[in-house]
Amino acid sequence: MPEWRVIRIIAFPGAPNLPLFAADQLGCFAKEGIRIELETTPSSVYQAEKLAAGAFDIAFTAFDNIVAYSEGQGPVQLPKPADFCVVMGATQLEVSLIAQPEISTIEKLKGRSIALDAISTGFAFIFYDMLERHGLAPHDCVLVPVGATPPRWQSVKDGTHAATLTIEPFTSIARANGYSILDVSTRIYQAYQGGVVASTRSWVSANGTALERFMKAYLRGLDWVLDPKNEAAATELLSSQMTEIPPSALRSVMQSLLSSRSGLTPKAEILPAGMEKVLSLRSRYSGTPLSDWQKYLALENYENAARQLAGT
């Protein structure tokens, strides 16, 4: 048995965390001598600040967040330049624009208040692109940084804001409750690197062996979730871990999560075309041309872990 290590993880709340739940429940982490401490983040700003400060070892986050802070374009200034890096892929991720039930088109968002995680990171640029495809610009709406999906969804439910962006399970919950789904990222993009597993280059350099043990456990959990014969058990596990998902929405959530077009990426591989799309959107809306997605990656440990799994 390897020496026990604690890996501190910060992730956005959502169904894409299911492989973590599975790897933990199945004993995959224990087999590798890993114990995870998982915290869900209230916002991308909080996540970036805590990861940069060393309060967490690994972040499950949006690829655009890594790009933003690496380029000095994050919504807050970190105490020192970020040394964030992507160590593994995670999700294609379907991002949906949901709105109050009476709002039936994107055009009707003009002049309305929109809840976003942050104004210049994450999925905000998807929203701006959706607006432009319907003849609107970001300044046509009132943009309010609210944080992660749960408080944004709550702000739409309580009428504070007219619309927001959601991922699963919140999209299916919104649909089941009669809210409008105005657009989805999978309709307008063939590929989009939504989620990634990230860390800091300094932590990776000092903890490569522990990282590879974590990755092997996670990849086993991911394979189990994506195996069709485990769908019923995986659905039950997700329901037990995210009790806010109503039974009527579980099937829709799992369908999205298990689709490589809208959810978990098999083998946690990165999506070059999806990363190119992220950079093209950031280039358009930040005014800084970006094209080299490989400079944000540090995949050596992932490649080692994948080889080790293939040899078992």
Q: Which domain holds residue 204?
A: 5-92+192-274+283-310
Q: How many residues does the chain have?
A: 312
What is the SS3 assignment for 305?
Answer: helix
Torsion sign, CA atoms 162, 125, 261, 204 = negative
Mean pLDDT of the chain: 96
Residue 2 above 70 pLDDT? no
| Residue where a domain stops, chosen among 164, 188, 212 | 188
What's the CA angle centered on 13, arms 104 and 219, to 5 degrees?
Answer: 120
* CATH number, domain containing residue 27: 3.40.190.10
203 & 293 share domain:
yes
Q: What pLDDT, in 10s, does the model give residues 284-304?
A: 999 999 999 999 999 999 999
Nearest to 6 by CA among 29, 31, 40, 39: 29
pLDDT tens track for 10-57: 999 999 999 999 999 999 999 999 999 999 999 999 999 999 999 999
Half-sphere exposure of 294 (CA within 13 A, CB side): 1
The residue with tokens 């400060």 is 53
Does residue 70 sit in the same domain as residue 184? no
206 and 305 share one domain:
yes
**Nearest partner of 44 among 32, 35, 52, judged by Cα:** 52
Tokens of 32: 């590798």
Quick: pLDDT tens for 139-167.
999 999 999 999 999 999 999 999 999 99
Q: Where are the alpha helices (DSSP H) in the chain?
A: 18-25, 28-31, 44-53, 63-70, 124-132, 149-157, 170-176, 185-188, 201-206, 208-226, 231-241, 247-258, 272-286, 300-310
The tokens describing 185, both together, are 């990222």
Rounded CA-CA distance 140/127 in Å is 12
Looking at the structure, tell me whether residues 16 and 68 fall in a common domain.
yes
Q: Of 287, 128, 262, whose CA–CA distance to 192 is shortest?
A: 262
- Runs of H (alpha helix) within 133-246: 149-157, 170-176, 185-188, 201-206, 208-226, 231-241
Q: Which residue in this structure is represented by tokens 């999560």?
A: 257
State the pLDDT at residue 3: 79
Q: How far apart are the first and last CA of the chain?
A: 16
Q: Are residues 20 and 147 in the same domain?
A: no
Residue 206 burial (CB count, 10 A): 10
Q: Looking at the structure, do residues 204 and 288 belong to the same domain, yes or no? A: yes
Q: What distance separates the 2 farthest-apart alpha carbons in the chain?
A: 60
How many Cα neighbours within 13 Å face the side chain of 221?
A: 26
Residue 152 and residue 270 in one domain:
no
- Rounded percentage of the chain residues whose pLDDT exceeds 90: 96
Q: Are residues 294 and 209 in the same domain?
A: yes
Based on the fold, state whether residues 137 and 231 are members of the same structural domain.
Answer: no
Burial class (CB within 10 angstroms; exposed 0-12, middle 13-18, buried 19+) of 310 = exposed
Q: Which residue bears the tokens 């374009």?
A: 73
Of 158, 188, 218, the residue that ends a domain is: 188
Do 184 and 240 reside in the same domain of the chain? no
Q: Are residues 11 and 116 in the same domain?
A: no
Would you say 70 and 200 are in contact if contact means Cβ atoms under 8 Å apart?
Answer: no
Convert the pLDDT of each residue in 164-214 to its tens digit.
Answer: 999 999 999 999 999 999 999 999 999 999 999 999 999 999 999 999 999
On whether both 49 and 127 belong to a single domain, the answer is no
Please state the domain count of the chain.
2
Domain boundary among 129, 156, 188: 188
